[in-house]
Structure 1
Amino acid sequence: MENSQTAPGHATRQANKALRRERILANARELIAGKGFDAFTINELASISGVSIPTVHNLFGKKNDIVLELFRELVNRIDEALAQPDLVDPIESLEAFIDKLLALYREDETFYRAAFLGGERLGLFEHEMTDGIFNKSLRVAERLCERARDRGHLLGSIDSHWLAQQVFGAQRLARQDWVNGYINLVQYRRQALVGMLLAFAADASPQLHGQICARLQHLTG
């Protein structure tokens, strides 16, 4: 009987705690997007969230822990964006891969730029994170290469793992240029696709090689 009386109160406290966490994370996201990672402080976050500094520490930990929490959200959203039905055509698959990422970044470009910069500075990124963006995206690139090889689009002369490294590396370099403000998202797409297609061309069948050349001409012409 006692459990049935205390459970609703406990559930309410847990629900309120979850809502408080969501509000604080939303405010942290806005602060990072608006002021940049370096200007983001626990003091200001607590103030605009209407809670005490110890409350923020109790719910999340330190500044790095809050950024890591935001990265978990980022990774989950990217994972969802990439977990779509596979396409048969290898060129279309590459374009779908990059377009899903860019559609996500376009939703809140300022935040994602700031989050990537902050995460890299804190060492949260990315090889060490088994389920991080690097490894998730690399696994997608490996699937693209393996499927293209199995369907005869790639010759198989180059190990799929190393080919995938180059495919993903082209996208990652473009992302870094975008994060640092050297290029916009339109240029990001073109730079990433050119690099990815050139990587595919190294092991492409004659037919795919011709298609890649035509697509490269369209992208760079």
Structure 2
Amino acid sequence: MVAAKGQATRQANKERRREKILSVARSLIAEEGFDALTISKMAERSGVTIPTVHNLLGKKNDIVLALFRGLVDRIDEVLAEPELVDPIDASEAFLDSLLSLYGSDEVFYRAAFLGGERLGLFEHEMNDGVFRKSIKVAERLCDRALEHGYRLGRVDSRWLAQQLFGSQRLARQDWVSGYIDLAEYRQQALIGMLITFAADATPELHQRICKRIDQLSH
């Protein structure tokens, strides 16, 4: 019993150190940019040794990937809500959740995305990468729309999911590059997502999508 309690305490301490390092990594990226994120700086600011950082989180790209996984997990939690089945409502809720996160610290997310691209964290073939996790979120959104009668089912959900992800990814790249602000990001991504859903929408949903796009365009 005593041994088990001691093990639980050590595990809790380990998790606290891990979260501290991730918090420091986030602060470094936000304050000094992606290039300032080094294992030695993370160790120094976290009050641990360099081997400890490696043992708890791995290399630099592992740490950045952990930050992005947390982001996708938070979006995933929002999309897990049962009422998000209507494609229009779900698309808007998805983007509102996403942009709320980005808006909470634009400097960090812009820098992190630039660094993530350089590290190849968005490569399609990465089994545990951000791309595949995001595609799974989009696939579930498509599957729900089909299950609840919003789609005709003539287009494969996997294809639709890739296009949905692509719509917001293009908008994100423009935002990261400083070409558009978050409001324009939302409009650009939402129109792209709705056009994608229109390709397999029921007549009633297709009409609603066209009306919503017209509203967004004015």
TM-score band, normalised by shorter chain: 0.7 to 0.9
Which of 83, 96, 100 is residue 99 of structure 1 equivalent to? 96
Residue 7 (structure 1) shift:
5.5
Give the CA deviation at 1:11: 4.6
CA distance in 2, matches of 1:73, 1:91: 25
Matches within 5 A, 1:122-201: 122-201=119-198
Is the CA contact (8 Å cut-off) linking 2:87 and 2:145 kept in structure 1? yes
Please give the secondary structure, in 2, of the residue aligned with 1:38: helix
Task: Provide the aligned length of Structure 1 versus Structure 2.
Answer: 218
Give, as a single letter, the amino acid of the residue that structure 2 aligns with 1:191: Q
Indicate if the aligned counterparts of 2:76 and 2:137 stay in contact, CA closer than 8 A.
Answer: no
Partner deviation per Cα, 1:23-82 (whole Å, 9 max, x = no partner): 222111100111111122222222222333343334333322322332332332232232
Distance 1:174 1:103, change over 3 A: same
Task: State the Cα distance separating 1:129 from its structure 2 match.
Answer: 4.0
Mind listing any 5+ residue stretches in structure 1 that lack a counterpart? Answer: none
Instruction: Say which SS state the counterpart of residue 36 (structure 2) adopts.
Output: coil
Supply the AA of the counterpart residue of 1:100. Answer: S
How far off its partner does 1:131 sit? Answer: 4.9
**Contact residue 30 and residue 111 of structure 2 kept, 8 A:** yes
Q: CA 1:49/1:137 → structure 2, altered by over 3 Å: closer, same or farther?
A: closer
- The answer to whether the aligner puts 1:27 opposite 2:24 as a matched pair is yes
Q: Determine if the alignment matches structure 1 residue 87 to structure 2 residue 87.
A: no
Shift of 1:152: 4.4
Q: Measured at CA, do residues 159 and 49 of structure 1 come closer, stay the same or move farther in structure 2, by a change above 3 Å?
A: closer
- Give the Å deviation of 1:12: 4.2
Partner of 1:212: 209
State the alpha-carbon separation in 1 of the partners of residues 22 and 175 from structure 2: 24
Deviations 1:75-94 (CA, angstroms, capped at 9, x unpaired)? 32232232222434331122
Change (3 A) 1:152 1:28: closer
Q: Is 1:43 the counterpart of 2:78 in the alignment? A: no
Give a deviation string over 1:149-206, Cα, whole Å, max 9, x none. Answer: 4554333343333233222211221122222222221111100111111122233333
Q: Judge conservation of contact 2:164–2:193 (CA < 8 Å) in 1.
A: yes
Cα contact 2:113–2:176 (8 A) shared by 1? yes
Displacement of 1:215 in angstroms is 0.8
* Distance 1:184-1:18 versus aligned 2 partners, 3 A rule: same
Which amino acid in 2 is paired with 1:89? D
Structure 1 letter corresponding to 2:82: P
- Change in CA separation of 1:126 and 1:76 when aligned onto 2, cut-off 3 Å: farther
TM-score, with length taken from structure 2: 0.83
In 1, the alpha carbon distance for the partners of 2:25 and 2:103 equals 19
Larger radius of gyration: 1
Tell me the C-alpha RMSD between the 2 structures.
2.6
The 1-side partners of 2:50 and 2:143 are apart by 50
Could you say what secondary structure the match of 2:34 adopts? coil
Q: Scaled by the length of structure 1, what TM-score is found?
A: 0.82
